[in-house]
Structure 1
């Protein structure tokens, strides 16, 4: 009896093993995996893009009946639906059901402008340690207090710190009185309290804490989009990190201003290039910066953007990750002064991301003039909007160090989501 049970267990195990090996090669199973469980699109789309399946696969709409061709929904009337259910069948056998959601067309104005970025950190940022020369030798009070590079000093002796200039008077007073400073720091998401004893520097003839600090950061980038309804904008497409600590800058506030490209250092193999620009400091602020995230910087515009003539000045529809295709596209960016120009690129790969994630697009610069001027993707080009089939699909974010002609992009949906713009809000959804 035990022998039979052992035989049956082994037989069942072998059958399961063979099934698991064969199943991925089984055509209906492949079809099942290739069909998404949910499709979202906009009412002004020409078609609803579906997996390229064979003609013997039928698609039936709960509302509109049988659809003859399963390769797209060109026969599907998008104006008539909000929610629908599509059923895929093979030889009259149901394979998979798909939820279809159609929303009102959503449009934003593409960017491309070069912008100057000014960030003010939350508190003051610790960017390094240094030694203080005392009668007893060299010490670093900051290190002894376990204050680390990348920490933000929020307050000293219950006094909120917002600028570097506010630190020195407190240090000198505490040093003269031989009192420790009660320091509150932020490290990641954690707030920590510590005591910091200033030391008298016999070389500098003053009290020091052995810390290098900074309260601001500046740079250039490219505007990605502007929403004329909410006045919100998105730019850069990636987080701003401190050049010394290599950690994200936690901002208290910030602003963007106009900038003019004055020169370009071409990118080369292993050496990224960069745009060089002048801030137009006499100009009013274009807007504020309220968020510095992995998807870019975001805020609200106060002044109208400088735009050229033509279709780039008008609101354009967006494309979802599932609608981005491999093939020709364009980017909008500035390589001279403030003139926004369109340059040809190729979408090499696009990941159909169902949740926010960076680096969803791989693109290659194909425009000969841009290659001659910049060598490819350079610093300062981050945030340049990517246009495909007259839709905004994303933004340039990173360059491949070993190949400046290629780089990454982020899907526009995730930047809009990070900006607090809900493209799926109820008023945008077609009535069922």
Structure 2
């Protein structure tokens, strides 16, 4: 009779799930969990003790030695909510089932156990030097010939702002100076130029006849272009096993075209913070940095993605705040609540600052905006007003594990911003290795890269 009564109570809780916090805890249990070796599996139910005692957890038998409880393999066995929680001891998969009265299955949870990953958290300020693949078209201009007639040859040939010039007359484009020289030489030889253009991942060709510019005395086609960018950001992590690094947490885009820059060559170098411009509502602040020449801290940028820039450091890296590598938190393990951010405000000194994870964004696929972060540290708020440009990539640590990195600031509230989950950032480093083996809220990305030069030709 007692069991029957409890069963009825539980059924009523499930029916009233949208109103009852106890039933909500049941419905909010994930159907999938991803954990690392060494982590405990927990199923948090806010049920009364009497009700919990009517529940058991059964582990299906096809997961030998994936989960151990008190040192015993529990594959094909059941345990109750008061026996403790099993530890993931080896990579693999397990299906666990919550049962009522030991026989009635009411919830299945698929558990995937991944190898434990430990990385060195970053926090160092870095200078980022990026050279694009080809040259980027950032503007158009009128060319006036010696009779005063006005032309725009490139526009007439169909070239738009945001296009990337990959080749001119079959030669690979490596700099804006090269393009300007080639155009002038072709004009003086009274020849057309054949351009290979990339637009949104697709390529096409365009033929253009240069015009002699009355103002400059050289042949031009009416475009503004540039080939490189430089800015200050923050290193997110370093993997001592692979030598790979991640930084920024967001893609570097052209400031005029807002298009991602395809990397042909790039590097990160040491940077020292010389000043801080505090942020305020409607106007993000920024770090003022200086690049330093140090061959012991140098990395090649191999990938520019929506989760940041990735590549290889030339020498091993240590963090003075964390003497040893620390574990990562997978997406399922990140919780709302207190955390800390590592970043530099003065010189090259990495410091800890208090933040709060306000929200974890539901994601069906990897995305760079996985967290909403709020700065709560009084000293940081007084000094910077919150999140500022140059903090992009600052690692976030919660309960001794690295959970992600800061990526954006809310323009209308600089105390808050977005963060990217470390799990998605690490996937990008794996892709870098594969490539090598083959061959409604306004926010601002951090940093806002100023380009080194623009050429008009």
TM-score interval (norm. to shorter)? 0.7 to 0.9
Shift of 1:177: 2.3
Q: Which of the residues 182, 185, 208 maps onto 1:196?
A: 208
CA distance in 2, matches of 1:120, 1:81: 40
CA distance in 1, matches of 2:416, 2:271: 25
Contact 2:370 2:418 in 1 (8 A): yes
1:430 counterpart residue number: none
For residues 335-379 of structure 1, give each alpha carbon's deviation from its aligned partner in whole angstroms, at most 9, with x where no partner exists.
110011110101111135453112111111011111111110000
Please give the residue correspondences for 1:137-176 in structure 2 after superposition, counting only pairs within 5 Å.
137-176=149-188
Q: Which of the residues 246, 249, 267 maps onto 1:255?
A: 267
2:348 is the counterpart of 1:377:
no
Please give the residue correspondences for 1:126-145 in structure 2 after superposition, counting only pairs within 5 Å.
126-134=137-145, 135=147, 137-145=149-157
Contact 2:59 2:78 in 1 (8 A): yes
Q: Per the alignment, in what secondary structure is the counterpart of residue 419 of structure 1?
A: helix
2:99 is the counterpart of 1:101:
no
**Which structure 2 residue ranges, 5 or more long, are not aligned?**
1-14, 62-73, 433-457
TM-score, structure 2 normalization: 0.81
Over 3 Å counting, the alpha-carbon distance change for 1:129 and 1:151 in structure 2 is same
For residues 127-160 of structure 1, give each alpha carbon's deviation from its aligned partner in whole angstroms, at most 9, with x where no partner exists.
1111111225222112111111111111111111
Q: Which of the residues 59, 62, 70 maps onto 1:61?
A: 59
Shift of 1:415: 0.2
TM-score, structure 1 normalization: 0.86
**Which structure 1 residue ranges, 5 or more long, are not aligned?**
1-21, 423-432
CA distance in 1, matches of 2:304, 2:124: 19
1:270 counterpart residue number: 282
Q: Which of the residues 225, 231, 234 maps onto 1:222?
A: 234
CA distance in 1, matches of 2:269, 2:91: 43
2:128 is the counterpart of 1:117:
yes
CA distance in 2, matches of 1:58, 1:392: 33
For residues 23-43 of structure 1, give each alpha carbon's deviation from its aligned partner in whole angstroms, at most 9, with x where no partner exists.
975999967753323222122
Q: Per the alignment, in what secondary structure is the counterpart of residue 248 of structure 1?
A: coil
Please give the residue correspondences for 1:25-424 in structure 2 after superposition, counting only pairs within 5 Å.
25=18, 33-45=27-39, 47-54=40-47, 55=52, 56-62=54-60, 64=74, 65-69=77-81, 74-79=84-89, 82-91=92-101, 92-134=103-145, 135=147, 137-281=149-293, 283=295, 286-305=298-317, 307-308=319-320, 310=321, 312-351=322-361, 353=363, 355-420=365-430
Q: Per the alignment, in what secondary structure is the counterpart of residue 430 of structure 2?
A: coil
CA distance in 2, matches of 1:51, 1:238: 34
For residues 402-427 of structure 1, give each alpha carbon's deviation from its aligned partner in whole angstroms, at most 9, with x where no partner exists.
110011101000000011179xxxxx
CA distance in 2, matches of 1:69, 1:322: 20
Q: Per the alignment, in what secondary structure is the counterpart of residue 149 of structure 1?
A: coil
CA distance in 1, matches of 2:206, 2:334: 51
Contact 1:110 1:313 in 2 (8 A): no
Contact 1:321 1:352 in 2 (8 A): no
Contact 2:38 2:87 in 1 (8 A): no
CA distance in 2, matches of 1:104, 1:251: 31
For residues 33-72 of structure 1, give each alpha carbon's deviation from its aligned partner in whole angstroms, at most 9, with x where no partner exists.
5332322212222x324343522543222352333228xx
Q: Per the alignment, in what secondary structure is the counterpart of residue 381 of structure 2?
A: helix
CA distance in 2, matches of 1:128, 1:212: 5
